[in-house]
């Protein structure tokens, strides 16, 4: 079965629509949303409605820290993020808010774990920045493959049977087989606000039969996405950063 | 884990196991057959199971990931892999014959034979590097040959693929590989520089031509680290008749700083194919090792030269192309030659390590017996070489970046295409013949080259103005004949 995995959509309609099209063109059979559907971007209603429809059709979704902050304001967010969350809260209706609040922190599915931040303590929203962070997450789950997001930069970690770690920055479009002899942590890039220097939207496909993961980059209409952020009075940096991927 | 029993007659994923043909330190090799696959097959099975020797497992995993992605004549074709959950294996094409290891008893080999062998290995490495893979274990037992002569590289357990996770990166405290052949930068943990393979090939070529290993057989880290500051004895110390060109090539491969080696395997292959064109530097004549002052400076400045930023295999290859210019100097078409020069200068200026091969074809008659002397008794071949050198002079390229070649052939296009293929040329620049009478009679050489070349071809035409000046009166002209800058094909 071919999975399409999306993390950190962040209410970026243009980016998410482009990624969904690309995933369908590649024959995606099941969609997985790894959290942070809202925050930063200017189309939270559309983003939440879209994910709700996908979930109704069998997609899996977990809750991210921005989704969580809609119902439970966070004091650890920076000013821009807080401003965007406050604005977003005013845009969502009760049904949309309750959908976000009701998302699980993690889901597992046939020896795979889906979580927004990492597995050792999902509600603490820690980042996976290096092999030490990855090892902590991998030690906390018995499942062979973990998919997460949160840091907005793609990364692929593995742990051998002797607990040796490897890290790798995946190349777009190149399938990597997740060998059965080791455990894997796949950190997805961000659909709606990439921060690895490439402004193109990021998602991944995973083939459960061949165990191959393919990270992909999708060009999208970032000018419109940025213009909508400015037009809605959100902090301008949230628009500017889309154009540079930082 | 329910491992299957490897024994003759066993069935694994449709492969029927035959006999065991080899048992090495890390793996066993079995012949296998599969209905529908008509080439002889080998199944490589790691000796250890999960949880045992991590080195064997990790290198097997690397081979499992890399081999199926490789293609071309220089690697065994891969027909399937099995994972550690059931029975780990890789099934590959069985290359008949022996590895170069079998030749060790005959060392030193004649210079020309060793040169030919190294040239084939360099061509194989060029193919591998273009597929984003660094072999990292080039040594005699990793090299085999096909019936047609192409070198085949085997054993990718230590290899590095630019687009795949490097499972060996943190696995071992010590660099893992074959000590006598290991490049110095590997001792500093660098695994992403393709020039490490050129160093190993240099060790092999030194060994095969002198009978001595340049860095001995030391397996200790201390012994291996010496090569970070200590250069080997020049081969001419060991053999008085050692050719200068060969020492130039060998010592350039063995440079401690990767940047001082050949920039690409293709450029090394080029020099090995044209020993008479190797530009000799002070390296070629050396009879002693570097002075102790140099060695100490290296040794105690190690920190200053340590790990460079990650090098990009593809970017490095892209900046070091072999550019071939096909010149028709005999026709005396100055405007076209000038247009070709402008184009070539543009290409060379953007690629700091590019090398330029200027080629002219001396056309032979199909029937008449050719004389190498023209009516005035001058040697046509030498005249052409001189003319090529004259044409190339304005480039002011360092000697080792320029070669000139006169090919003698009945079919110029075929000769140019063969030269490009054999020499791993990346880019051909060729002029389009303007004289329509000639083209009608002979066909278009540039069109044939452009359509059949294995690489990028730029077809150059003089600007419209100069064309009108020169060829006034010729009836027809291509609509596209005034393309400036030249079109890329």
Q: What percent of chain B has pLDDT over 90?
A: 53
State the smallest CA–CA distance between residue A159 and chain B in angstroms. Answer: 9
CA distance B202 to B184: 13
* B317 or B367, greater pLDDT: B317
State the span(s) of chain B assigned CATH 1.10.510.10.
100-299+313-317
A156 CB neighbours in chain B (<8 A) are 165
Q: How are the residues of chain A apportioned to helix, strand and coil, as percentages rounded to the nearest 5? A: 35, 20, 45
Q: Which of B51, B166, B170 sits opposite A161 (nearest CB)?
A: B51
* B53 or A188, greater pLDDT: A188
State the smallest CA–CA distance between residue A65 and chain B in angstroms. Answer: 29
Q: Where are the beta strands (DSSP E) in A13-131?
A: 30-33, 60-61, 106-109, 112-115
**In this structure, what DSSP letter does residue A236 have?**
H
Are B462 and B343 a contacting pair, CB within 8 Å? no
State the smallest CA–CA distance between residue B12 and chain A in angstroms. Answer: 18
Q: Two tokens at B302?
A: 């190690």
A162 CB neighbours in chain B (<8 A) are 51, 54
Only one residue has tokens 């060695």, namely B295
Residue B483 has pLDDT above 50, yes or no: no
What integer is the mean pLDDT of B305-322?
67
CA distance B245 to B116: 14
Residue B4 has pLDDT above 80, yes or no: no
Residue B368 has pLDDT above 70, yes or no: no
Residue B226 has, within 13 A of its CA and on its CB side, a CA count of 15
The lowest-confidence range among A113-117, B238-242, B358-362, B397-401 is: B397-401
Q: Are strands A112-115 and B427-431 parallel, antiparallel or unpaired?
A: unpaired
Its sign, for the CA torsion B190, B193, B197, B199, is negative
Q: Which of B50, B65, B164 sits opposite A161 (nearest CB)?
A: B50
Q: Two tokens at A195?
A: 């921060």
At the topology level of CATH, where does B11-93 sit? Phosphorylase Kinase; domain 1 (3.30.200)
pLDDT at position B475 is 37
Residue B201 has pLDDT above 80, yes or no: yes
Asked if A168 reaches chain B (Cβ–Cβ under 8 Å), the answer is yes
Best to test chain A binding among B1, B165, B167, B313 (most A CBs inside 10 Å): B165
B65 CB neighbours in chain A (<8 A) are 176-177, 179
The lowest-confidence range among A220-224, B269-273, B297-301, B403-407 is: B297-301
Instruction: List the single residue in A with minimal CA-CA distance to B65.
Output: A177
> Which H or E run includes B189?
none
Closest CA relative to residue B336, chosen from B446, B416, B418, B421: B446
State the smallest CA–CA distance between residue A181 and chain B in angstroms. Answer: 6
Q: Do A165 and B50 touch (CB under 8 A)?
A: no
Are A40 and A222 a contacting pair, CB within 8 Å? no
The lowest-confidence range among A109-123, A191-205, B4-18, B464-478 is: B464-478
Please give the CATH architecture assigned to the domain spanning B100-299+313-317.
Orthogonal Bundle (1.10)
State the span(s) of chain B assigned CATH 3.30.200.20.
11-93
Q: Do A166 and B51 touch (CB under 8 A)?
A: no
CA distance B336 to B316: 31
Domain covering A2-108+170-182+191-244 assigned CATH 2.102.10.10 in the classification: no
B84 CB neighbours in chain A (<8 A) are 179-181
Q: Do B163 and A158 touch (CB under 8 A)?
A: no
Catalytic residues of B: 137
Asked if A179 reaches chain B (Cβ–Cβ under 8 Å), the answer is yes
Q: Do B85 and A180 touch (CB under 8 A)?
A: yes
Give the distance from CA A22 to its chain's centroid. Answer: 16
Residue B195 has pLDDT above 50, yes or no: yes
Residue B392's contacts (CB-CB under 8 Å, 6 or more residues apart) are B356, B358, B402, B404
Closest CA relative to residue A232, chosen from A8, A45, A65: A45
The lowest-confidence range among B298-307, B438-447, B448-457 is: B298-307
Residue B305 has pLDDT above 60, yes or no: no
A175 CB neighbours in chain B (<8 A) are none
Asked if B399 reaches chain A (Cβ–Cβ under 8 Å), the answer is no
Asked if B57 reaches chain A (Cβ–Cβ under 8 Å), the answer is yes
Q: Which of A158, A164, A176 sits opposite B54 (nearest CB)?
A: A164
Give the distance from CA A157 to its chain's centroid. Answer: 16
pLDDT at position B484 is 37
* B306 or A5, greater pLDDT: A5
CA distances to B264, B300, B310 from B305, in Å: 21, 10, 14
CA distance B122 to B261: 13
Residue B2 has pLDDT above 70, yes or no: no
pLDDT at position B330 is 61
The interface predicted TM-score (ipTM) is: 0.84
pLDDT at position B309 is 53
pLDDT band (50, 70, 90) for residue B244 = very high
pLDDT band (50, 70, 90) for residue B387 = confident
Q: Do B166 and A161 touch (CB under 8 A)?
A: no
Best to test chain B binding among A164, A169, A175, A209 (most B CBs inside 10 Å): A164
Instruction: List the single residue in B with minimal CA-CA distance to A184.
Output: B165
State the smallest CA–CA distance between residue A169 and chain B in angstroms. Answer: 8
pLDDT at position B480 is 40
pLDDT at position B306 is 52
pLDDT at position B168 is 83
The lowest-confidence range among B48-57, B72-81, B467-476 is: B467-476
pLDDT at position B379 is 78
The lowest-confidence range among B243-247, B339-343, B357-361, B479-483 is: B479-483
pLDDT at position B23 is 85
Domain covering B321-488 assigned CATH 3.40.50.620 in the classification: yes
Are B1 and B49 a contacting pair, CB within 8 Å? yes
pLDDT band (50, 70, 90) for residue B481 = very low
Residue B482 has pLDDT above 70, yes or no: no
Q: Do B65 and A179 touch (CB under 8 A)?
A: yes
In chain A, domain spans: 2-108+170-182+191-244
pLDDT at position B374 is 60
Residue B269 has pLDDT above 80, yes or no: yes
Closest CA relative to residue B407, chosen from B274, B275, B280, B278: B274
pLDDT digit string (tens) for chain A, length 246 residues: 999 999 999 999 999 999 999 999 999 999 999 999 999 999 999 999 999 999 999 999 999 999 999 999 888 899 999 999 999 999 999 999 999 999 999 999 999 999 999 999 999 999 999 999 999 999 999 999 999 999 999 999 999 888 889 999 999 999 999 998 899 999 999 999 999 999 999 999 999 999 999 999 999 999 999 999 999 999 999 999 999 999
Q: Do B166 and A162 touch (CB under 8 A)?
A: no
CA distance A38 to A100: 9
């Amino acid at each position: 079965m071919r999975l399409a995995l999306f993390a950190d959509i962040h209410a970026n309609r243009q980016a998410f629509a482009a990624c969904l099209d690309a995933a369908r063109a590649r024959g995606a059979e099941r969609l997985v949303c790894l959290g942070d559907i809202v925050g930063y971007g200017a189309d939270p209603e559309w983003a939440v409605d879209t994910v709700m429809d996908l979930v109704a059709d069998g997609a899996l979704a977990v809750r991210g820290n921005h989704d969580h902050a809609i119902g439970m304001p966070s004091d650890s967010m920076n000013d821009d993020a807080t401003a965007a969350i406050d604005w977003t809260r005013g845009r969502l209706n009760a049904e949309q808010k309750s959908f976000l609040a009701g998302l699980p922190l993690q889901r597992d599915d046939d020896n795979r774990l889906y979580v927004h931040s990492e597995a050792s303590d999902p509600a603490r929203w820690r980042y996976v920045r290096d092999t030490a962070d990855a090892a902590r997450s991998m030690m906390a789950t018995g499942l062979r493959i973990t998919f997460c997001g949160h840091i907005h930069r793609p990364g692929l970690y593995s742990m051998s049977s002797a607990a040796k770690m490897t890290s790798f920055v995946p190349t777009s479009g190149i399938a990597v087989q997740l060998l059965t002899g080791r455990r894997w942590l796949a950190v997805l890039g961000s659909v709606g606000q990439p921060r690895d220097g490439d402004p193109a939207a990021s998602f991944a496909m995973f083939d459960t039969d061949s165990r191959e993961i393919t990270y992909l980059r999708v060009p999208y209409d970032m000018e419109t996405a940025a213009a909508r952020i400015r037009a809605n009075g959100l902090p301008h940096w949230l628009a500017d950063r889309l154009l540079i991927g930082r | 884990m329910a491992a299957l029993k490897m024994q003759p007659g066993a069935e694994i994923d449709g492969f029927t196991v035959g006999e065991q043909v080899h048992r090495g330190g890390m793996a066993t090799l079995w012949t296998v057959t599969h209905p529908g696959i008509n080439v002889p097959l080998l199944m490589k099975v790691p000796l250890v199971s999960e949880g045992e020797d991590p080195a064997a497992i990790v290198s097997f995993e690397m081979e499992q990931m890399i081999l199926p992605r490789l293609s071309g004549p220089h690697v065994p074709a891969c027909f399937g892999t099995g994972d550690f959950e059931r029975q780990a294996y890789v099934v590959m094409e069985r290359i008949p014959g022996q590895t170069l290891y079998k030749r060790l008893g005959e060392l030193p080999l004649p210079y020309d034979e060793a040169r030919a062998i190294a040239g084939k290995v360099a061509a194989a490495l060029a193919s591998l590097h273009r597929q984003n893979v660094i072999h990292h274990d080039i040594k005699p037992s990793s090299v085999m040959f096909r019936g047609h002569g192409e070198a085949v590289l085997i054993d990718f357990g230590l290899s590095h693929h630019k687009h795949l996770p490097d499972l060996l990166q943190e696995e071992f405290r010590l660099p893992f590989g074959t000590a006598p052949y290991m490049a110095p930068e590997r001792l500093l943990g660098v695994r992403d520089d393709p020039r490490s393979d050129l160093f190993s090939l240099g060790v092999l070529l030194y060994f095969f031509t002198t009978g001595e290993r340049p860095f001995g057989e030391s397996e200790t880290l201390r012994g291996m680290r010496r090569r970070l500051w200590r250069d080997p004895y020049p081969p001419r110390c060991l053999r008085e008749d050692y050719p200068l060109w060969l020492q130039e090539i060998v010592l350039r491969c063995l440079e401690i700083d990767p940047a001082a080696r050949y920039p690409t395997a293709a450029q090394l292959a080029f020099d090995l194919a044209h020993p008479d064109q190797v530009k000799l530097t002070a390296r070629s004549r050396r009879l002693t090792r570097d002075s102790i002052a140099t060695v100490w400076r290296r040794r105690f400045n190690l920190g200053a030269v340590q790990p460079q930023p990650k090098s990009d295999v593809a970017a490095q290859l892209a900046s070091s192309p072999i550019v071939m210019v096909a010149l028709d100097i005999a026709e005396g078409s100055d405007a076209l030659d000038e247009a070709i020069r402008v184009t070539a200068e543009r290409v060379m200026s953007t690629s700091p390590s590019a090398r330029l091969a200027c080629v002219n074809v001396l056309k032979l008659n199909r029937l008449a017996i050719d004389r190498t002397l023209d009516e005035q008794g001058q040697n046509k071949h030498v005249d052409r070489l001189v003319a090529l050198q004259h044409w190339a002079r304005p480039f002011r390229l360092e000697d080792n970046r320029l070669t000139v070649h006169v090919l003698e052939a009945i079919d110029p296009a075929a000769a140019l295409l063969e030269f490009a293929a054999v020499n791993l040329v990346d880019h051909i620049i060729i002029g389009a013949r303007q004289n329509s009478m000639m083209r009608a009679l002979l066909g278009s050489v540039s069109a044939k080259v452009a359509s059949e070349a294995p690489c990028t071809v730029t077809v150059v035409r003089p600007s419209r103005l100069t064309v009108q000046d020169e060829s006034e009166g010729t009836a027809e002209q291509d609509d596209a004949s005034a393309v400036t800058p030249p079109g890329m094909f």
